[in-house]
Amino acid sequence: MAITFYDLSGMNARRFSPFGWRVRMALAHKELDANVELIGFSDKAKLEFSGQNLVPVLVDGATVVADSWEIAGHLQATYPDRPSLFHGAAGEASARFVAAYADSQLHPLVARCVVRDILEVIPEKEHAYFRAAREKRFGMTLEAIVANREETRRQLKTALYPVRTTLRDHAFLGGAGPNFSDYAVFGAFMWARSVSAFTLLDADDPVHAWRERMLDLFDAMPRAEAGFPV
């Protein structure tokens, strides 16, 4: 059955959605091919069929699924014989926790480092929409959001403590191999890498070494993606 994956894109097919990256990694983990439909901020009418207006969206045969967590659950339930995204029910609960941690604790900090740089990778016609939407969300201009990003970077280092601690004893958040917990956190780094040259991690941070391992997964698919070397 054909799968179509609607993912956010800027110019030159730059795919910078952290949630899109979760799905991309999940599809690769499940060894599933998908037709990819790239959606810019100005193309969201193309998502109307899904009953909402955010990417990622997956269409798998007759099934339409929006939201990266829902998509992961769909892939796990529909393709149980392929490599597991969660490594069991306990792993699924842990991945839910990790995804919520990334959403609430990491994404706001990454945004405060890179959100202004997104203007450089989306077409001019989308600038006004993007600026207005994000300035409303943060209550200040894009420039003010990122003004203190050296300090934000220090806060991010602190916020990554749970990841760093887990990586002391395990190669991946999923243990010996990656699972959806890893993809949930990694999406934030792929978002940053796709849009910004700003350095988020110190080279001697164990999270940096983990990100290198993540970039090498699936024949280095993430590393091959257009972005800034980090």
Ligand X SMILES: N[C@@H](CCC(=O)N[C@@H](CS)C(=O)NCC(=O)O)C(=O)O
Question: Residue numbers of the site for ligand X (CB under 6 A)?
Answer: 8, 17-19, 41, 54-56, 67-69, 133
CB of 44 to ligand X, least distance (A): 6
The CA distance from 201 to 79, in Å, is 35
CB closer to ligand X out of 19 and 183: 19
Q: Please, what is the minimum distance in Å from the beta carbon of residue 14 to ligand X?
A: 13
Whichever of 55 and 146 has its CB closer to ligand X, that residue is 55
Return all residues near 116 (Cβ < 8 A) that are at least 6 apart. Answer: 142, 143, 145, 146
- The least CB distance from residue 18 to ligand X, in Å, is 6
Query: How far apart are the C-alpha atoms of 153 and 161, rounded to whole Å?
Result: 13
Q: How far is the CB of 69 from ligand X (least distance, A)?
A: 6
Nearer to ligand X, 8 or 28 (CB): 8
Tokens for 179? 């699972």
Cα 69 to Cα 199: distance, rounded to the nearest angstrom: 28
Give whichever of 69 and 210 is closer to ligand X, judged by the CB atom. 69
Output the smallest distance, CB 169 to ligand X, in A. 28
For ligand X, which is the closer residue by CB, 108 or 206? 108
Name the DSSP letter for residue 147: T
Reduced to 3 states (helix: H, G, I; strand: E, B; else coil), residue 130 is: helix
Torsion of CA 129, 134, 137, 140, to 10 degrees: -110
